[in-house]
Amino acid sequence: MKKTTNTTGHRMNALFALSITLLVVVFILLNAVALVLSNRFPLSLDLTANAAYNIGEETKTMLDHLVRPVTIDILAPEQMFSGDAYLVQTKKILEQYERHSSRVTVHYIDYAADPSYAATRPDLKLSEGDLIVSSGDRVKQIPLSSLFNYTPTAAGSIIIESSRAEEAITSAIMNVLSGDDVRCGVLVGNGGPEAETFTTLLVNNHYVLQNAVPATDDLSDFDALFLFAPQNDLSADDIRALDAFLYNDGNYGKTLFYTASVTQASLPMIESFLAEWGVTVGEGSVFETTPERTYQRQPFYAIADFAETHYRDMLVDPNAPMLMPLARPLKTIFTVRDHQFTETLLTFGETAAVRPPNASDDFIADDATERGPFPALVLASRRFYEDGLLARQSSIVVSSSHHMLEPIALHNTSLSNSAYLLNMMNDLTGREEGPAITPKSLAGKTLGATSSQVTRLGVVLGGIIPLAILLTGVGVWLYRRYQ
The model's pLDDT over 137-161, given as tens digits with 9 standing for 90+, comes to: 889 999 998 888 777 777 777 788 8
% pLDDT > 90, the chain: 54
Residue 451 confidence (pLDDT): 41
pLDDT grade for 395, boundaries at 50, 70 and 90: very high
Beta strand ranges found along 219-307 (DSSP E): 224-228, 255-259, 279-281, 285-288, 294-295, 298-306
In this prediction, residues 192-212 reach a mean pLDDT of 89
Burial pattern 389-420, b for ≥16 Cβ within 10 A else e, equals eeeebbbbbbbbbbbbbbbbbbbbbebbbbbb
Q: Which residues pair with 280 in a beta bridge?
A: 331
Pick the CATH number of 181-428 from 1.10.357.10, 3.40.50.720, 3.20.20.70, 3.40.50.880: 3.40.50.880
* Burial category of 305 from C-beta neighbours within 10 Å (exposed 0-12, middle 13-18, buried 19 and up): middle
Q: What is the pLDDT of residues 354-364, one digit of tens each?
A: 999 999 989 99
| Residues 396, 250: Cα–Cα separation, whole Å | 16
Highest mean pLDDT among 23-27, 66-70, 328-332, 430-434: 328-332
| Residues 248, 394: Cα–Cα separation, whole Å | 9
In this prediction, residues 461-472 reach a mean pLDDT of 82
Q: C-alpha distances in angstroms, 407 versus 128, 214, 223, 311, 321?
A: 25, 27, 25, 21, 15
Distance of alpha carbon 23 from its chain centroid, rounded? Answer: 50
Highest mean pLDDT among 1-5, 130-134, 386-390: 130-134
DSSP 161-195: EEE-HHHHHHHHHHHHHH---EEEEEE-SSS----
Beta strand ranges found along 17-156 (DSSP E): 70-74, 104-108, 131-135, 138-142, 148-152
Q: C-alpha distances in angstroms, 56 versus 65, 141, 179?
A: 15, 22, 23
Residue 49 confidence (pLDDT): 47
Q: CATH for 53-179?
A: 3.40.30.10
- Report the mean per-residue pLDDT for the chain: 86
pLDDT top residue among 348 and 27: 348
Q: What is the pLDDT of residues 408-443, one digit of tens each?
A: 898 887 899 999 999 999 999 987 666 656 666 666
